[in-house]
Chain A
Amino acid sequence: MEEELLIDGKRIDGRLPEQLRDIQMKLNVVTRANGSSEVRFGRTTAIASVHGPRALYPRFLQESNTGILRTRYNMAPFSVNDRKSPGPDRRSTEISKVIRLSLEPVIFLEDFPKVTIDVFAEIIEADGSTRVTGINALSLALASAGIPMKDLVVSCSVGKIDGTLIVDLNGKEDNNSEADMAFAMLPNKGVITLLQMDGALTREEVLKLLQLAKESCMKIYEMQKKVLKDFYKGE
């Protein structure tokens, strides 16, 4: 159980503490959707799609002065070592909610009364940091669906292993960390839209991790911008 996660300053996958994994982003992987993407952080793979704005039924769910955003985060049964029984559970219900709250501030929902924007994040392979990978995928999917947005949403995980603060936890680090934090922000406005942490950290460590998360998110923001620009240039 007690395996060292940090040897000579290197992590088990060879990364330095503040180094992100290899990140890949692809657009339009679900052609039947209004917008979609696939994002990989190392082996962690999220596919996101956006359906809508579209009619919302049953009608009593409609809001007369605004549209609504519905999110579903789901892990495929084969995405983890021990098969996960399919369908929503407590964990995915909570994550779906915090993902929705992390995205809502950027969407002009008030421009779409009575309709819904449904977004889905499907994790097909999980090696830690699945919710933040999902948020990055959803940000790209929303942008490529042409949904009017105030900003992109960028997200990453940070944490602490063997007393060292690190960025972008893989599955093993996630399971054995002293603390892990899921984080999302709006890069232009510079504000936080997702903040979850568990573990044990001093006040100063929390603040240091926020700075690390911010720096990493700005790198991810550049990647998001590039993939969007390249996609539309190619059209």
Chain B
Amino acid sequence: MEGIYALELIQKGKRIDGRKFDEFRTIEITTNAISTAEGSARVKIGETEVVAGVKIGVGTPFPDTPNKGILVVNTEFTPLASPEFESGPPGENAIELSRIVDRGIRESDTIELEKLCLVEGEKVFSTFVDIHIINHQGNLQDAAALACVAALKNAMLPKLENDKIVRGEHDKPLPVVFTPINVTVSKVGENFILDPNYEEEKNLDSKLSISVRNDDNVCALQKQGRKEIKFEDVEKMLDMAIEKSKELRKLV
């Protein structure tokens, strides 16, 4: 019932924790929090907490992109983070979340993957971003995307000696050229809110996840939730996301 009350409040123009509709909870980002990773970030949005770690290895390129490095984004909904998460292979929510984060990074050409090629068709750097949810208090999508970008921006390429990685030693930074920011806009009745907390999120009907590049171009969209959205909603949601992305980008 808690969730229902949170939504009723929004219809009255208020939020359960007193925030404005377009206001995020306090964001804390700690970069290079994990020394074994090539890059990492712990991100807290209010009580929601995620940690992203980048591991870079040497691998074989995909046959259709022989001159490009590999980027893989994976998310674990660890059972510790919420009573509704269970052990086992990733479910559809975890997969969807990973793929939205992945698209935001990949489609915006954030990483210059060509620069990760060592020998065309044979050897490239493969970059794995693993995102672990530590505490689920709502808006995992934006927290995960923020952690991923922050971790990548701080990642270093490992040093190579005779084509083998020397762990613990680094050559130069990972070539990251953009900072895409994911802002998910949620619809409650005819109102739009950002950064829903757990109570608000529980009964949300529709959301639009929007990834915005530095030049305000939109690089990924995904509608979520079981209810439909109107054409004019999209315009309002885009404006809200583009505006907020500027503020969030300053933090990374």
Binding site for B on A (CB under 8 A): 82, 90-91, 93-94, 96-98, 101, 104-105, 179, 181, 186, 189-203, 206-207, 210, 214
Contacts and interface: CB of A to CB of B under 8 A. Distances in A.
Describe A's contact surface by its main secondary structure: mixed
B238 A206 contact: yes
7 contacts: A97-B92, A98-B223, A192-B223, A195-B208, A197-B220, A200-B217, A202-B217
Contacts of B216: 202-203
Given A192-B231, A196-B223, A206-B238, 5 more contacts: A97-B92, A179-B107, A186-B228, A198-B107, A201-B219
A189 B227 CA distance: 13
Nearest to A178: B107
Interface in B61-80: 63-64
B226 A94 contact: no
Interface stretch (B47-55, B96-104, B147-155, B160-168): B96-104
B139 interface: no
Nearest to B65: A1
Nearest to A194: B223
Nearest to B107: A198
Nearest to B74: A90
Given A94-B99, A97-B92, A203-B239, A191 B221 contact: no
A197 B218 contact: yes
A80 to B, nearest CB: 11
A93 B217 CA distance: 28
Contacts of B96: 93-94, 97-98
The residue among B63, B103, B216, B220 with the most chain A CB atoms within 10 A of its own CB is: B220
A192 B230 CA distance: 6
A90 B106 CA distance: 16
B226 A105 contact: yes
Contacts of B217: 200-202
Given A90-B98, A94-B99, A198-B103, A192 B218 contact: no
B233 to A, nearest CB: 8
B95 A93 contact: yes
B224 interface: yes
The residue among B95, B219, B235 with the most chain A CB atoms within 10 A of its own CB is: B95
A203 B242 contact: yes
Interface in B202-252: 208, 213, 216-231, 234-235, 238-239, 242
